Amino acid sequence: MLGGGEQFVLCHIEVQSKKGKGDLPLRMFEYFYKIYDKYKIPITAIAILADENRNYRPVLYRQEFMGTELIYKFNSYKIIEQSEEALRADPNPFAVVALTALMAIKHKDRDDEQLKDIKHDLYEEMMKRKMEKSVRQGIYDFLSYYVQFENPDMMRNFEKEIELTIPIYRDSYIAVKN
């Protein structure tokens, strides 16, 4: 804030992986007015769209009735439109999350062995970035469970393989769940 005082801003983030009923714009508006009604401070909103449909990109909610009109615009971030190369080059930890979602969309029909290779690649991308241990753990959890294997034994194999790489990253240890 220009006067040197504190100002709080709220950020409403909505993640959607399927078009669903097409009610995302309405939900975005409803959450906006509920949050604003409670806190009365500025709010920014972003819809993170993790679906495959390149044509689905809602950015506003509009309501009209007898001369009264309401238009609520919000930001959107479409995973499928992101560049894999740009995400790999981006040092921001969120880039690994977006890259994981992008790879899941692009490679949804891969077999477990191919998915395991993709997960290893994403794990390496995560380890390249400097971040707090708690952030790294959160991203690891997302990576581990966002891309699902058909065979549950593959997850155990993946985690065992990751455990073997831990000495390389002593200062960035991740608690692997057994």
Res 173: pLDDT: 45
Q: How confident is the model at residue 99 (pLDDT cuts 50, 70, 90)?
A: very high
Beta strands in the chain (DSSP E): 10-16, 43-49, 60-65, 68-73, 75-78
Res. 69: pLDDT tops 50 = yes
Give the type of residue at 46: I
Q: Are 55 and 90 in contact (CB under 8 A)?
A: no
Q: What does DSSP say about strands 60-65 and 43-49: parallel, antiparallel, or unpaired?
A: unpaired
Instruction: Name the most confidently modeled range: 77-91, 112-126, 135-149.
Output: 77-91
Provide mean pLDDT across the span 107-134: 88
Res 166: pLDDT: 60
Q: Are 48 and 14 in contact (CB under 8 A)?
A: yes
Res. 178: pLDDT tops 50 = no
Nearest to 79 by CA among 97, 95, 94, 101: 101
Q: 60 has which bridge partners? A: 73
Give CA–CA dist 101/54, Å, rounded: 15
Q: How confident is the model at residue 57 (pLDDT cuts 50, 70, 90)?
A: very high
Q: How confident is the model at residue 1 (pLDDT cuts 50, 70, 90)?
A: low
pLDDT tens profile 13-27: 999 988 778 899 999
Average pLDDT, the chain: 87
